[in-house]
Amino acid sequence: MLFSNLNRNLFFNRLTSEQFDLLVIGGGITGCGIALDAALKGMKVALVEKNDFAFGTSSRSTKLIHGGLRYLKQLELKLVRDVGTERAVVHRNARHLVIPEKMLLPIVQAGTLGELSTSAALLVYDLLAGVKRSEWRTMLNKHETLKAEPLLAGENLLGGGMYFEYRTDDSRLTIEIAKRAAEQGALLLNYIQAEDFIYENGKIFGAKLTDKHTGKSCTIRASTVVNACGPWVDLLRKKDQSLKGKRLQLTKGVHIVFPHSKLPIQQAVYFDVSDGRMIFAIPRSGITYVGTTDTVYNQDIDQPVCTKEDVEYLLAATNKMFSGVHLSMTDVESSWAGLRPLIHEDGKSPSELSRKDEVIVSENGLISIAGGKLTGYRLMAQKTVAIVQQQLGKNFNNTSTKGVQLSGGKFDSEEEFQREKGRMTDYAKTLGINQNLAEEWFYRYGSNMPLLLQNAERLLTGNPASDIVQLAEWQYAIEHEMVLHPTDFLMRRSGKLFFQHRASHQLIPELSKFIAHHLHLNEHQKNLMQTETMAAYQNSVTFN
Ligand code: FAD
């Protein structure tokens, strides 16, 4: 099992006893992308993550693989082209997780864009981003816009533009990249914190680590080190005594989740707010989520929370845009808050700061990367690994990740994807798994779904039918997805804590017991995990 905490001791021993070409610190999408790129090129790679994979910004985004429309407004044309082209690549490599979805852009009186400018902007966007013809924008008059989304408030509405965004599940995308990197030989471990660096002849040569699960400390030796710590990047630059020049400016963005019945929109909408910003309302299996805010953040990086003020801002904007909708604080079923690791620019407001990525190399050789988007993770990885290779001064193969299907994404065409979906959901039915759940699994696990079905089949004897699906999924999470805490599964492998909030609460005691039993944890550890999970559950609905 290449990606399982059942092998934690073995992995930890390898971390401490072997020497690596590259140590990546940070298991968000940026770090995991770098680990995959480097491992594919033949480097010996280790990655450590101080919490769980995707614990940081990579599980707290709007969950869209953008074509980059918002950058058009800031005239970042190259960025629009890069992310647009890249979106198609990410879709091809993870068809189960990156799914085209129509997005409605209502045009309102005194809004950011008028009818002509929206039409022109969306066309420029389609052309620049290389959007395929079948997904080019369509402009709608007021009547057509209301037909597409009857819930829109009609008074100020002039019309709309319909274009395509791709929705994703950010933390699952990160996990599938991590799993693919492990398949390629990289050693990735969660709950390992980098505390400080070690140096040899004035150059960085590894790091001091703490295993947060056992409390053990160790040292890892690596010829190159990449700091992919997202919002925490500057903390590690400080440890390297190299925090000078460019610095991060963190901005917070929150999302709130309603039951779909409270905001029953028919499709995703990207709409204007009176302060000149724009926010998304996105329906997704039984819920609708709305976000995001964009405010300067200077507090605890480990615990960004959604405040009462954040919720009020989003509620006011949503109630104004949709008629007959009177959402209030008590309708919010869950929430998440994330931090954008942006590069500080004097005199710019949070929304004006560039989302471009930036690589900074210290005199000691520490390579730090921050900024960027989920969408551009592969290009960021490519750029960073080129610097790693330069520092190593050795030849590696030049394999590109462009055509590399991620774990769960092993489908060669859309036809094959649809065929496999039919085949696997049909087979699931023979095991008593209903169509909805089978599809949920297919879009979560893609081409890995047969492993879950095998688990379910094995569990058929000796377990009540109602438990089989749950147990099969938990077993997969432990054996193949590096789950160590219940929050790993509920927040970042399945998203249930956000999207099936109430049901997830009931799972906490059983799931804690299951994990403790399979990973041989003692009663004290189990109780701690259970308390931690209850707290995470509460946090997502507490707004101060
Ligand atoms: P992170 O995901 O934060 O990963 C850094 C990791 O480093 C963390 O997991 C952390 O625990 C770990 N770490 C920190 N310190 C240490 C240490 N000492 N030792 C070990 N590990 C450590 N992009 C899009 O493309 N589409 C979107 O829809 C979108 N929406 C967004 C909405 C919001 C509100 C925000 C905030 C961002 C959004 N983004 C979006 C941007 C995107 O989410 C980020 O660019 C991306 O997730 C950053 O990933 P990362 O790996 O660099 O950082």
Nearest CA to ligand 1 atom 53: 230
CA distance 387 to 367: 8
The proportion of the chain whose per-residue pLDDT surpasses 70, expressed as a percent, equals 99
CA of 302 to the centre of ligand 1 (A): 12
Cβ-contact 160, 140 below 8 angstroms: yes
Answer yes or no: is pLDDT of 340 > 90. Answer: yes
CA distance 161 to 175: 34
Nearest CA to ligand 1 atom 18: 194
> What type of residue is 323?
S
How many residues can be counted in the chain? 544
Answer yes or no: is pLDDT of 355 > 80. Answer: no
Q: What is the mean pLDDT of residues 459-470?
A: 89
Nearest CA to ligand 1 atom 33: 61
Helix (H) or strand (E) holding 437: helix 435-445
* Residue in 323, 313, 327 with CA at minimum distance from that of residue 273: 313
Q: What is the mean pLDDT of residues 405-427?
A: 98
Query: Which atom of ligand 1 lies closest to the CA of 252?
Result: 36
Answer yes or no: is pLDDT of 75 > 80. Answer: no
Apex CA 149: angle with CA 144 and CA 150, to 5°? 95
Provide the pLDDT for residue 356.
81
31-47 burial, b at 16+ Cβ within 10 Å, e below that, comes to bbbbbbbbbbbbbbbbb
70-84, 353-367, 402-416, 509-523: which range is least confident on average? Answer: 70-84
pLDDT interval class at 320 (50, 70, 90): very high
**Chain CA centroid to CA 213, Å:** 23
Sign for the CA dihedral angle at 121, 138, 291, 83 comes to: negative
- Protein residues whose CB sits closer than 6 Å to any atom of ligand 1: 25-31, 48-51, 55-58, 60-64, 66, 193-194, 228-232, 236, 253, 292, 338-340, 372-375
Answer yes or no: is pLDDT of 493 > 80. Answer: yes
Provide the pLDDT for residue 82.
79
105-119, 191-205, 206-220: which range is least confident on average? Answer: 105-119
Q: List the structure tokens of 147.
A: 């037909």
Answer yes or no: is pLDDT of 534 > 90. Answer: yes
Mapped onto helix, strand or coil, the DSSP state of residue 459 is helix
Provide the pLDDT for residue 390.
97
Q: What is the mean pLDDT of residues 470-478?
A: 98
Cβ-contact 247, 240 below 8 angstroms: no
Q: What is the mean pLDDT of residues 474-496?
A: 98
Q: Exposed, middle or buried by CB within 10 Å (0-12, 13-18, 19+), for 249?
A: middle
Cβ-contact 342, 251 below 8 angstroms: yes
- Pocket test residue of 71, 166, 232, 300 for ligand 1, highest count of atoms within 8 A of CB: 232
Q: List the structure tokens of 19.
A: 């020497």
pLDDT interval class at 122 (50, 70, 90): confident
Query: Which atom of ligand 1 lies closest to the CA of 195?
Result: 18
Provide the pLDDT for residue 288.
98
Query: Which atom of ligand 1 lies closest to the CA of 56?
Result: 3
Query: Which atom of ligand 1 lies closest to the CA of 33?
Result: 51
Written in H, E and C, the secondary structure of 329-380 is HHHCCEEEEEEEEEECCCCCCHHHCCCCCEEEECCCCCEEEECCCCCCHHHH
What does DSSP say about strands 64-65 and 138-141: parallel, antiparallel, or unpaired?
A: unpaired
What does DSSP say about strands 217-227 and 19-25: parallel, antiparallel, or unpaired?
A: parallel
Provide the pLDDT for residue 344.
83
CA of 373 to the centre of ligand 1 (A): 8
CA distance 237 to 247: 10
Phi, psi of 196 (to 5 degrees): -160, 175
Query: Which atom of ligand 1 lies closest to the CA of 229?
Result: 7
Answer yes or no: is pLDDT of 76 > 90. Answer: no
Nearest CA to ligand 1 atom 47: 58
Answer yes or no: is pLDDT of 114 > 90. Answer: no
Q: List the structure tokens of 209.
A: 């680590």
Provide the pLDDT for residue 144.
96
- Pocket test residue of 29, 48, 61, 173 for ligand 1, highest count of atoms within 8 A of CB: 61
Nearest CA to ligand 1 atom 8: 56
Q: List the structure tokens of 229.
A: 């710590």
pLDDT interval class at 329 (50, 70, 90): very high
What does DSSP say about strands 287-291 and 278-284: parallel, antiparallel, or unpaired?
A: antiparallel
Task: Supply the mean pLDDT for the chain.
Answer: 94
Q: What is the mean pLDDT of residues 314-339?
A: 96
45-49, 343-347, 360-364: which range is least confident on average? Answer: 343-347
Provide the pLDDT for residue 131.
82
Mapped onto helix, strand or coil, the DSSP state of residue 21 is strand
CA distance 4 to 76: 41
- Pocket test residue of 69, 255, 373 for ligand 1, highest count of atoms within 8 A of CB: 373
- Pocket test residue of 55, 57, 213, 257 for ligand 1, highest count of atoms within 8 A of CB: 57
Provide the pLDDT for residue 112.
74
More confident residue, 338 or 133: 338
The proportion of the chain whose per-residue pLDDT surpasses 90, expressed as a percent, equals 83
Answer yes or no: is pLDDT of 287 > 90. Answer: yes
